[in-house]
């Protein structure tokens, strides 16, 4: 069974429950979020992570903003202003993943259909309906991406980077859904997961999901990927994305670019799986994608364990950008985009 990253409990006055991914695989703990600051902190600290999942969390976060306004007994105009201000906080919680801004903006647009002077409770009901739509749609998108991805994967072992399963989405995942769907169809192959430094999302989360699903997985440190590709045991690489530019350049967890370079050097196809909401067609190329710089301690003291001497500095970008020329295909809910060009992306996704 695919593990859930998040769920909503109750009506518009309820709470968002997040599976704290910083504690996995050792401990399964759910966090009840009843206000926006808790959600913002959870997104920034990677308690909830993965572009689709944080988009869904952002959508539910707007519901919490309306609930805050209801508890404060704010006037309709002040309640709307409060929701919009909280929405801005949510949208900026992490700068690289476009799904977060997209989902929050979609929830706010839903309020335009309400009559002027709608009370805070009405705002919450509308926002909850929209957030649930986004959540349900993502589950369907993941299933479609899984089917298209499974069909695209050639024979041989599969290597993935970071985490792109149910923990990162509202459904079965993106890149990991392709792997699990192919496995469920009866195909058998070796599955390899990069550790994914510095927070080990591959080792802690991807491997945990695969083990939960009964799929054997081999974990390797990021620096061993090139040697593994040279061994002939890998037939393809597949990863997710947090933002994809109009030309197909894709931002994903740091280390993805190096993996794509190594795959190209060995003639191994490299795929990126993501829903259409991850595309930012307003950006011509990946050069315009903002790259989040995270705390130095994630490198100098990973998982709280000192690994470098006092006084050392850290270079810790959360993401890198893989050029479209290194990507064999983009796998979306609409199908495979290949070759990866701006024209082909427009053809498959539409305007």
Q: Helix (H) and strand (E) counts for the chain?
A: 12, 14
Which one of 138, 242, 280, 320 is the catalytic residue? 242
Among the listed residues 67, 42, 64, 63, the one whose alpha carbon sits nearest the alpha carbon of residue 53? 42
Q: Are 278 and 304 in contact (CB under 8 A)?
A: no
Helix axes 98-110 and 76-91, enclosed angle (nearest 10): 170
- From residue 261, alpha-carbon distances to 104, 130, 189, 247, 281 in Å are 34, 40, 23, 18, 24
Among the listed residues 95, 3, 106, the one whose alpha carbon sits nearest the alpha carbon of residue 40? 95
Q: How many CB atoms are closer than 10 A to CB 345?
A: 22
Taking phi over 0 as left and psi of -120 to 50 as alpha, with beta for the rest, 104 belongs to alpha
CA dihedral (129, 36, 20, 250) in degrees, to 10, reads 80
Helix axes 51-71 and 36-44, enclosed angle (nearest 10): 160
Q: What are phi and psi of 152, to 5 degrees?
A: -80, -25
280 carries an active-site annotation: no
Q: Which residues contact 19 (CB under 8 A, 6 or more apart)?
A: 3, 4, 5, 6, 28, 29, 30, 31, 48, 167
Catalytic residues, by residue number, are: 242
């Amino acid at each position: 069974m695919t593990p859930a990253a998040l769920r909503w409990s109750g009506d518009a006055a309820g709470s968002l429950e997040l599976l704290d991914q910083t504690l996995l695989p050792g401990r399964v703990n759910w966090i009840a979020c009843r206000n926006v600051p808790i959600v913002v902190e959870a997104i920034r600290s990677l308690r909830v992570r993965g572009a689709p999942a944080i988009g869904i969390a952002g959508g539910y976060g707007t519901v919490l903003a309306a609930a805050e306004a209801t508890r404060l007994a704010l006037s309709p105009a002040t309640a709307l202003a409060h929701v919009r201000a909280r929405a801005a906080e949510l949208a900026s919680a992490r700068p690289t993943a476009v799904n977060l801004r997209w989902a929050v903006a979609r929830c706010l647009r839903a309020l335009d259909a309400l009559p002027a002077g709608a009370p805070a409770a009405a705002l919450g009901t509308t926002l909850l309906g929209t957030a649930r739509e986004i959540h349900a749609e993502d589950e369907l998108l993941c299933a479609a991406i899984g089917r298209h991805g499974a069909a695209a994967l050639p024979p041989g072992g599969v290597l993935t980077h970071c985490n792109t399963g149910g923990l990162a989405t509202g459904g079965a995942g993106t890149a990991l859904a392709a792997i699990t769907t192919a496995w469920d169809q009866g195909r058998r192959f070796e599955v390899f997961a990069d550790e994914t430094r510095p927070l080990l999302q591959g080792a802690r989360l991807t491997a945990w999901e695969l083990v939960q699903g009964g799929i054997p997985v081999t974990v390797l440190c990021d620096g061993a990927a090139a040697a593994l590709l040279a061994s002939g045991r890998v037939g393809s690489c597949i990863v997710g994305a947090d933002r994809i530019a109009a030309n197909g350049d894709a931002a994903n967890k740091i280390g993805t670019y190096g993996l794509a370079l190594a795959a190209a050097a060995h003639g191994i196809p490299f795929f990126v799986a993501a829903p259409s909401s991850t595309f930012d067609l307003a950006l011509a190329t990946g050069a315009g994608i903002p790259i989040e710089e995270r705390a130095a301690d994630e490198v100098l003291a990973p998982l709280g364990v000192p690994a470098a001497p006092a006084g050392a500095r850290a270079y810790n970008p959360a993401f890198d950008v893989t050029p479209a020329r290194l990507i064999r295909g983009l796998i979306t809910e609409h199908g495979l985009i290949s070759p990866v060009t701006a024209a082909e992306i427009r053809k498959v996704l539409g305007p």
